[in-house]
Amino acid sequence: MVSELINANPVIYEKKERRVRSVPSAAADEYVVEPIDQQEIFDILSVYSYIKDPEHPYSLEELKVITEDAIEVDDGRGYVRVTFTPTVEHCSMATVIGLCLRVKLLRSLPSRYKVDIRVAPGSHATEAAVNKQLNDKERVAAALENPGLVDMVDECLSPSYE
Amino acid sequence: MELAKELREIQTLEGHTDRVWSLAWNPATGVAGIPLSFASCSGDKTVRIWEQNPSTSSWDCKAVLDETHTRTVRSCAWSPSGKLLATASFDATTAIWENVGGDYECVASLEGHENEVKSVCWNASGSMLTTCGRDKTVWVWEALPGNEFDCVSVLQGHTQDVKMVQWHPTRNLIFSCSYDNTVKIWADDGDDDDWACVQTLGEANNGHSSTVWALSFNASGDKMVTCSDDLTLKIWGSDDAKMSADGFAPWRHLCTLSGYHDRTIFSVHWSRDNIIASGAADDAIKFFVENNDQDGLVDGPSYKLLLRKENAHEMDINSVQWSPGEDRVLASASDDGTIKIWELTSE
C-alpha cells in the first residue's frame, strides 16, 4: 500500500561547513574531558548519525529540521534542550522525529544528562500535545518497547553510506 | 515530633539491569521480629524481593521474579496481609504472586487492559484490587477464594493515560491521577459494584496544570498530597462536616508547594508520623512537614521544607516509600538502576 507522503516536496538546504576544532596538546590535556557544547550536540545529531527524515532520503540537517542554534546545552548542569522544526505544520511524523532525537542523545550522552525535546514554537498545529508526549519519560519508555516503532527509529538513525 | 536533622544513606542496592520504577514495602514486616522486606520492579521485566538481615542489618536480594512479565514491570503492591504481591506491567497484565516457603509463584494473571498497566493497589481489607493504565481506564477487581480474581467494574472518565491508583485507607473510595492533569475520586453506589466518579480535582479547583504522577494519603485519611510534572506538590483535605447524604465528603485544595523541584516530581509518600517525602527527576529527595509556626492568620494549614537531599541518586528518582515499623526508614528507586535505603535521623 503506497501512502501519500506528508511533505512530497521538502526544501533541501546545503549542509554547513564544519568548523575545525582545535586539538588540545596531548601531554597537558590527556585527562581533561572536553565539555559538551552546542556544536557537539549538533554533530551527534547530524554528523555522527545522519538522522534521516522518516519520509525522505535526506538528513534532518538538510531539511533544517534541526539547526545548531536551536540547541541549548549546559554541560556543568548536564542539561540539553533541542528544539526542532518539522517541515510542515501538521506533520504526524513529529513525534517519531522527536523520539529519534531523544534516542540518539540517550545513546550518545553521559547518563547524568537531562534532555528536553520540543517543537519550535509556532511550527506545529498540536505543539503542546507533541511536546507533552515527547517529554513524558514513561510514554517514551513504553514506545521504545514497541518493536515496530524501534525499527522505525533505528532505520532513521542507521548510518548512511554514500 | 523530634526535629529531623540528617538523611543518612544506609545502603545502595544493585541488581536490576534497567531503571527501577517502583517499590513497595511488605506491610506485614518490620514488626514482631519479622525482618523488613520490600519488592522492587524494573524496566528489566523483573521484580526483586529484598530483605534486611536481622543480625547484620544489611539488605540482601532474596528472590528475583522473572520469566512472567514480557515487558517493563511498572508498579507493585502487597496485599495487607503481606501474603500476595500484585505486579503491574507494560505487557498489559497484572500478575499476582504468592510466597510459597520463600519461593514466589505466579498464581494469577489479570488481563483486560488494552495496553500498558501503570499502577495497582489493594483495598484495606485485601478483598479488592484496582489497576489503571494508558487505555485511560481504572479497573476494579474482586479477590475470590482460590486466587481467583474477577473484574467488577471498568471506570471510564479520564481523557488520557492514568498514571496511578490508590485506594483510600479507611473509606471505600478509589483515587486516580492522570496525564489529563486531574485527580478523580470514584465511589461505589451501595453494594452494587456500581462505581462512578464523584469528584474531579482539576485546574478549576486549584489543581495541577500538567500530568499528575502520584498521590499519597496521611495516616488518618483526611488529607492527601499529589505531585506533578507542573513541578508542584499539592495538599488536599476532606472535611467530614461537609459530608453529603450519600456519605461523600468533597475534597478541596489546601496548599501548593512550589519552587522545590525543578523537574518532574514522580513520587510522593506521606509517612505515619506526618513527614511528606518527594522524589523527582532533578535527582533530589525532599521532606516537608506542616508549618506550625504561623500565627493562625493564614487560612488553612501550610507546609514547609524540613530537609533536602540533592543528588540522592545519579539519575531521576522514580519512587520514594517510607517503611512500615518504628524507624524513619525510606527507600528510593532510580533510573540509575539502584535502590537506596535511607534513615532520617535527629542528629
Q: Which residues of A touch B282 (CB under 8 A)?
A: 114
Using alpha carbons, select from B62, B65, B58, B59 the residue that is nearest to residue B42: B65
Q: Looking at residues B108-122, what average pLDDT do you find?
A: 98
| B316 touches A: beta carbon within 8 Å | yes
Interface residue of B42, B209, B263, B265 to substitute, partner A, most A CBs within 10 Å: B263
Rounded distance, CA B66 to CA B46, Å? 5
At residue B322, does pLDDT exceed 60? yes
Among the ranges A55-64, B4-13, B82-91, B181-190, which has the highest mean pLDDT value?
B82-91
What pLDDT is recorded for position A65?
Answer: 79
- Helix/strand/coil percentages in chain A, nearest 5: 35, 10, 55
Helices (H) and strands (E) in chain A, counts: 5, 3
Question: Of the given ranges (B146-155, B179-188, B245-254, B325-334), which has the lowest mean pLDDT?
Answer: B245-254
CA distance A45 to chain B (A): 23
Helices (H) and strands (E) in chain B, counts: 0, 28
Q: Please state, rounded to an integer, the average pLDDT across all residues of chain A.
A: 79
Q: Which residues of B touch A111 (CB under 8 A)?
A: 314-315, 335-336
ipTM of the modeled complex: 0.95
User: What is the number of residues in chain B?
Assistant: 347
Rounded distance, CA B262 to CA A48, Å? 31
Q: Which residues of B touch A112 (CB under 8 A)?
A: 314-315
Total tally of structural domains belonging to chain B: 1
Rounded distance, CA A51 to CA B318, Å? 31
Query: By percentage, how much of chain B surpasses pLDDT 90?
Result: 88
CA distance A38 to chain B (A): 22
What pLDDT is recorded for position A18?
Answer: 60
Among the ranges A121-125, A158-162, B2-6, B250-254, which has the highest mean pLDDT value?
B250-254
Task: Provide the CA B108 distance to its chain's centre, in angstroms.
Answer: 22
Grid cell locating B324: 512500615
At residue B341, does pLDDT exceed 90? yes
Place B201 in a pLDDT band, splitting at 50, 70 and 90. Answer: very high
What pLDDT is recorded for position A16?
Answer: 64
Interchain contact, B210 vs A132, CB within 8 Å: yes
- Check which CATH number belongs to the domain holding B42 and give it: 2.130.10.10
CATH superfamily of A38-157: Fe-S cluster assembly (FSCA) (3.30.300.130)
What pLDDT is recorded for position A28?
Answer: 44
Task: Provide the CA B101 distance to its chain's centre, in angstroms.
Answer: 27
What pLDDT is recorded for position A50?
Answer: 59
The predicted-structure confidence for B69-93, as pLDDT tens digits, reads as follows 999 999 999 999 999 999 999 999 9
Q: Who contacts A103 (Cβ-Cβ below 8 Å, separation ≥6)? A: A144, A153, A157
Q: Which residues of B touch A139 (CB under 8 A)?
A: 134, 161, 179
Using alpha carbons, select from A77, A114, A95, A135 the residue that is nearest to residue B335: A114
The predicted-structure confidence for B144-178, as pLDDT tens digits, reads as follows 999 999 999 999 999 999 999 999 999 999 999 99
> Any long-range contacts for B328-331 (C-beta under 8 Å, 24+ apart)?
B328/B4, B328/B271, B328/B273, B328/B275, B329/B10, B329/B36, B330/B7, B330/B277, B330/B285, B331/B23, B331/B25, B331/B38
What pLDDT is recorded for position B297?
Answer: 59
Query: By percentage, how much of chain B surpasses pLDDT 70?
Result: 97
At residue A6, does pLDDT exceed 80? no
Look at A96 and B339; give whichever has higher pLDDT.
Answer: B339
Q: Which residues of B touch A149 (CB under 8 A)?
A: none
Q: Looking at residues B295-307, what average pLDDT do you find?
A: 81
Domain contains B77: yes
Place A115 in a pLDDT band, splitting at 50, 70 and 90. Answer: very high
CA distance B315 to chain A (A): 6
Q: Looking at residues B104-119, what average pLDDT do you find?
A: 98
- For A137, B35, B140, the CA distances from B160, given in Å and listed in that order, are 15, 40, 18
Chain B: residue whose CA lies nearest to A147? B71
Q: Give the domain extent around B134.
A: 6-345
Q: What is the C-alpha end-to-end distance of chain B, expressed in Å?
A: 14
* Helix or strand holding residue A155 (H, E): helix A147-157
Please tell me which of the candidates A114, A137, A142 has its beta carbon nearest to residue B116: A142
Domain contains B1: no
> Any long-range contacts for A156-160 (C-beta under 8 Å, 24+ apart)?
A156/A51, A156/A52, A156/A53, A156/A54, A156/A96, A156/A97, A156/A100, A157/A49, A157/A51, A157/A52, A157/A100, A157/A103, A157/A104, A158/A52, A159/A49, A159/A50, A160/A50, A160/A52, A160/A57, A160/A59
User: What is the number of residues in chain A?
Assistant: 162
Rounded distance, CA B156 to CA B139, Å? 9
Beta strands in B221-315 (DSSP E): 223-228, 233-238, 251-257, 265-270, 276-280, 285-290, 303-309
B134: alpha, beta or left? (left if phi > 0; alpha if psi -120 to 50): alpha
The predicted-structure confidence for B217-262, as pLDDT tens digits, reads as follows 999 999 999 999 999 999 999 987 777 777 799 999 999 999 999 9
Using alpha carbons, select from B267, B247, B281, B245 the residue that is nearest to residue B171: B247
Interchain contact, B315 vs A145, CB within 8 Å: no
The predicted-structure confidence for A38-79, as pLDDT tens digits, reads as follows 888 877 777 555 566 667 667 777 777 777 778 899 988 899
At residue B179, does pLDDT exceed 80? yes
Domain ranges of chain A: 38-157
- B142 with B148: CB under 8 angstroms? no
| B134 touches A: beta carbon within 8 Å | yes
What pLDDT is recorded for position A24?
Answer: 47
At residue A27, does pLDDT exceed 50? no
3-state secondary structure of A34: coil
Q: What is the 3-state secondary structure (H, E, C) of B104-150?
A: EEEEEEECCCCCCEEEEEECCCCCEEEEEECCCCEEEEEEECCCEEE
Q: Which residues of A touch B336 (CB under 8 A)?
A: 111
What pLDDT is recorded for position B44?
Answer: 98
* Helix or strand holding residue A32 (H, E): none
Chain A: residue whose CA lies nearest to B115? A142
What pLDDT is recorded for position A1?
Answer: 43
DSSP letter (8 states) at residue B316 = -
Rounded distance, CA B180 to CA B209, Å? 9
Interchain contact, B314 vs A137, CB within 8 Å: no
Using alpha carbons, select from B151, B123, B125 the residue that is nearest to residue B138: B151
At residue A2, does pLDDT exceed 50? no
Q: Who contacts B260 (Cβ-Cβ below 8 Å, separation ≥6)? A: B233, B278, B286, B288, B305, B308
User: By CB neighbour count within 10 A (0-12 exposed, 13-18 middle, 19+ buried), where does B276 fall?
Assistant: buried
CA distance B340 to chain A (A): 17
CA distance A65 to chain B (A): 26
What pLDDT is recorded for position B246?
Answer: 72
pTM: 0.91
What pLDDT is recorded for position B296?
Answer: 59
Interchain contact, A138 vs B163, CB within 8 Å: yes
